[in-house]
Amino acid sequence: MEKTLYKSMNAENMEELVQAFYPKVLKDPILAPFFIEKLGEDIESPSWKTHLILIREFWKRTALGYDDYTGNPLQPHFNIKGISREAFGIWLNLFNETIDETYEPFAGDYLKDISNQIADNFMRKLEI
């Protein structure tokens, strides 16, 4: 059965995007260790649930203008040992893949542009 792609982004399908993305991260041999070290292996754990809510709120603010996110998305990345351009590239590829599985091209392209800008900014500030 083929999945219906969303024509636009909203709070509900942003949740779907986040929920579909992070299991892929946990399967990736480069990315998984960064997340497992901080959050553990069980995506159903309280620490993961808190993280997923935080990330959902971040993307809702960034892409949709919601104001429920109050964190500093860059700051935690300064404490990740071994973070690299390669890891950011893999993250972007998986995120873009999940965007393509969730949204029609116009809406998805918008989110891809934002995520690429954020990744470029993070790498520049992290000096990697």
pLDDT digits (tens, 9 = 90+) for 62-110: 999 999 898 999 999 999 999 999 999 999 999 999 999 999 998 899 9
Per-residue pLDDT, 1: 59
> Of 94, 75, 85, 74, nearest to 32 (Cα)?
94
Q: Distance (Å, rounded) from C-alpha 95 to C-alpha 58?
A: 14
Q: Distance (Å, rounded) from C-alpha 5 to C-alpha 101?
A: 7
User: Is the predicted pLDDT of residue 2 greater than 70, yes or no?
Assistant: no
Per-residue pLDDT, 19: 97
pLDDT digits (tens, 9 = 90+) for 20-60: 999 999 999 999 999 999 999 999 999 999 999 999 999 99
What is the CA 55 to chain-centroid distance, rounded? 7
Give me the residues paired with residue 58 across strands: none
User: Is the predicted pLDDT of residue 123 greater than 80, yes or no?
Assistant: yes
- Other CB atoms within 10 A of residue 51 CB: 18
Domains of the chain (ranges; CATH) run 11-126 (1.10.490.10)
Per-residue pLDDT, 106: 87
Q: What is the pTM of this model?
A: 0.91
